[in-house]
Amino acid sequence: MLELLQDMSLEEKIYQLVQMPGECFEQGILTGPAAEMGIPQEKIYQAGSCLTVIGAKTLREIQDKAMAAQPHHIPMLFMCDIINGYRTVYPVPLAQGCTFDPDLVRDCAKMAAAESAASGVHVTFSPMADLVRDARWGRVMESTGEDPYLNGLMAKAMVEGYQGDDLQEKGRIAACVKHFAGYGAPTAGRDYNTVELSERTLYEDYLPAYKAALDAKCALVMTSFNTLNRIPSSGNKALMRDLLRDEWGFDGVVISDWAAIYEMLPHGIAANGEEAARLAIEAGVDIDMVTSIYSKNLYELAADGRIPMALVDEAVLRVLELKNKLGLFEHPYKDASEDDENALLLCDAHRAVAGQCASESFVLLKNDEGILPLSREKKIALIGPYVNSRLITGSWSFFSKDEDNRTIHEVLQEQYGDCFATATGCELLEAGRKLTGFSMDYLNEETEEEAKEKLDKAVALAREAEVVVLFLGEPKDFTGEGASRADITIPALQKNLLRSVAAVNPNVVTVLFNGRPLDLREESALSKAILDVWFPGTEGARAILDMLFGVTAPSGKLSMSFPFCVGQVPVFYNEFSTGRPFFGDYREGRFFSKYIDIPNEPLYPFGYGLTYTSFSYSDVTVSKPVLSIAGEDSLTATVTLTNTGSREGTEVVQLYIRDLAGSVVRPVRELKDFTRVTLAAGEARDVTFTITPSMLQFYDIDMEFTAEPGEFMLFVGGDSRTQNAAAFTLVV
């Protein structure tokens, strides 16, 4: 690669650092943002990479033109957002987090890679390893949740699934972990907003999942849009070079987020394009995503010696190395093949995993009187705007086709014929309210009379039924990029449907579609059961009906806390104890850390989820009371888990640890391990976790990552509130 680099002109080198928007290749002309880039038409094929063009045939053609136009016939990199699937869509990442099943998540990523590779994709902008605590932020859906450890496992699994051991292997694509760093903590949950994190919070909570992706050899890193402690990431040398490259040893490609280098101008850290380019290249950002900041400014900066030529060279070398790792110099089309597209896209194997992942991601939040699973003998009405909706794949699934997603109604017909009555009841969104979506705009144009007729029909059905299942939720464009919400409830007209149905029938089961934790106070009060199905993907409808009718059983656990109401946000389980803590009679007293109008606890906590059977936990026991920092010491914590119900079930057994006193205040508990256990009715099994001193490390008063001797508590149970505890001491 070095030889090639040395033979390239400066202009050629700089074009390797430019990413063109896909439209300009598809349309053959520069329009919109591409035109604004001011890149001459004859140069667009010299760009090092392009964004969001897909299809084996199209990409082979673009590659031919690129290699013909490029003086050294260097192949182009094709990058895309393959987030939760390609044509086959898996549940959104937040839902995947709820599976607590990294192996399954790895499988989903592997299949998404195989499909998109067949369509010519080389790089996906996934995993998103941003820790999320604020349900108002629309992009919580793209994260696997609020826990650093769980996120790290999921990010690792995704990287392994996309990349395998060798990027040249058929069906493998390069992964890009994003958005480095701290994008998941925008002030007040408003997208792109300022992020202020203490060094300790950044290191302890926010960085581990990115690091886990890099330890799994993730090939690329994407910068984040936000400022982190007043510095935009794309120009943050301390973050992108000192930490990422020098401390962590990352030698792969860093790409800016969409126009993020340019955005240093409105951020007010660069006075002009030249300054933005200099800041970014000095920070070690290799590729400028879809703006002309690099193409217009790097040449002069390097030619005049205002930046060392070595900065350009090292960035270009990293891009060339990535192309080489993917084998593009020998196989410029890589796996792009129309035959493989035909064979793989939406194939049975991928659909099966999509169905399994959907099923494992569903979280049963409530199930009074064991109303679920439904008995087929009962008179059941299935009502709600999601009964006939195909919009169940979530944001970022624009390579799928809505017609691939069967509706609840269609699957119901297929499996049960006309046994059950259905009705829409209302639209997803109020009449007249326009929602500007990611890929489409949504506008409900029905009249008041039409709306009333729909509602009346549903209420009449509900009155007649023994059980009503309501399919409600956020429209998919209420979540995702640019979709922050201050009111995290379902739309008012759906609430009205719920109230109207509950008024005539007490046996309501709510099936909830959502991309974020919602304020579910009313749904919880008016429903006997709530099954959260998120945005479940291509096989969602079947997975939902199978679960409702008990063919499968829920096993998902929340990867993010559901607040009592929006005023509690951000609320998360691994918080710190205050000096005025949550126990005792805090509710009565005034001077405690509490709200005077709502509880401190979330409505449904992290790690929580029910199933159709019940489990009992024995007291947790430890193998010995003292653990030594020295040597390879470890101790074990064991519980006996018993399935006390009458059907098989799966429980995610969780281990949390608390360091009782440290040189800095420690979280009230932290997830350290978990395991999924399936037990037959009546079966009991011992579940054992091993605890080593390395699991007790944290950033101490001197920012050293270390474990401090002292007293610890461990907790083993079915959610983050478990009080099933044992103590141990860590000694030197």
Bridge partners of 50, per DSSP, are 20, 78
Smaller CB separation from ligand BGC, 175 or 216: 175
Smaller CB separation from ligand BGC, 248 or 398: 398
Smaller CB separation from ligand BGC, 48 or 355: 48
The closest residue (CB) to ligand BGC is: 125
Mask for 420-459, x = binds ligand BGC (CB under 6 A): ----------------------------------------
**Binding test (CB under 6 A) with ligand BGC, winner from 15, 86, 100, 258:** 258
Answer whether 392's CB lies under 8 Å from 89's CB. no
- Give me the least distance between CB of 28 and ligand BGC, in Å please: 21
- Give me the least distance between CB of 655 and ligand BGC, in Å please: 32
- Give me the least distance between CB of 257 and ligand BGC, in Å please: 5
Answer whether 686's CB lies under 8 Å from 638's CB. yes
Smaller CB separation from ligand BGC, 78 or 258: 258
Per the listing, tokens 């909830």 go with 512
Smaller CB separation from ligand BGC, 125 or 612: 125
404 vs 396: CA distance, rounded Å: 16
Q: Name the CA dihedral angle for 64, 66, 70, 76, rounded to a multiple of 10 degrees.
A: -110
Number of residues that bind ligand BGC (CB under 6 A): 6
Smaller CB separation from ligand BGC, 123 or 302: 123
Burial of residue 200, with CB atoms counted within 10 A of its CB: 0-12 exposed, 13-18 middle, 19 or more buried: middle
Answer whether 292's CB lies under 8 Å from 39's CB. yes
487: amino acid identity, one letter: D
- Give me the least distance between CB of 296 and ligand BGC, in Å please: 21
- Give me the least distance between CB of 258 and ligand BGC, in Å please: 4
- Give me the least distance between CB of 400 and ligand BGC, in Å please: 16
Q: Contact between 206 and ligand BGC (CB under 6 A)?
A: no
417 vs 413: CA distance, rounded Å: 4
Helix (H, G, I), strand (E, B) or coil at 674: strand
Helix (H, G, I), strand (E, B) or coil at 655: strand
Number of other residues whose CB lies within 10 A of the CB of residue 460: 14
Both tokens assigned to 671: 């997830």
Q: Contact between 178 and ligand BGC (CB under 6 A)?
A: yes
- Give me the least distance between CB of 482 and ligand BGC, in Å please: 8
Q: Which helix (H) or strand (E) holds 582?
A: none
Smaller CB separation from ligand BGC, 12 or 481: 481
Residue ranges in 122-161 that form contacts with ligand BGC under rule CB under 6 A: 125
177 vs 180: CA distance, rounded Å: 8
| DSSP class of 478 | G
Chain-centroid distance of CA 726 in Å reads 33
Which positions ≥6 away from 145 have C-beta within 8 Å?
94, 97, 98, 131, 132, 151, 558, 559, 560, 606
602 vs 393: CA distance, rounded Å: 27
- Give me the least distance between CB of 83 and ligand BGC, in Å please: 8
Active site residue 257: yes
Mask for 463-482, x = binds ligand BGC (CB under 6 A): ------------------x-
**Binding test (CB under 6 A) with ligand BGC, winner from 25, 53, 81, 211:** 81
Nearest Cα to Cα of residue 716 among 627, 629, 649, 652: 652
Of these residues, 257, 288, 477, 546, which one is catalytic? Answer: 257
Mask for 691-730, x = binds ligand BGC (CB under 6 A): ----------------------------------------
DSSP letters spanning 679-725: E-TT-EEEEEEEE-GGGG-EE-TTS-EE---EEEEEEEESSTT---E
Smaller CB separation from ligand BGC, 225 or 564: 225
Q: Rounded to whole angstroms, what are the CA distances from 664 to 249, 276, 703?
A: 28, 38, 10
Number of other residues whose CB lies within 10 A of the CB of residue 136: 22
Smaller CB separation from ligand BGC, 113 or 307: 113
- Give me the least distance between CB of 380 and ligand BGC, in Å please: 41
Chain-centroid distance of CA 43 in Å reads 36
Q: Contact between 257 and ligand BGC (CB under 6 A)?
A: yes
Mask for 626-665, x = binds ligand BGC (CB under 6 A): ----------------------------------------
Question: What is the number of alpha carbons within 13 Å of residue 502 lying toward its C-beta?
Answer: 18
Active site residues: 257
Contacts with ligand BGC, residue ranges (CB under 6 A): 81, 125, 178, 257-258, 481
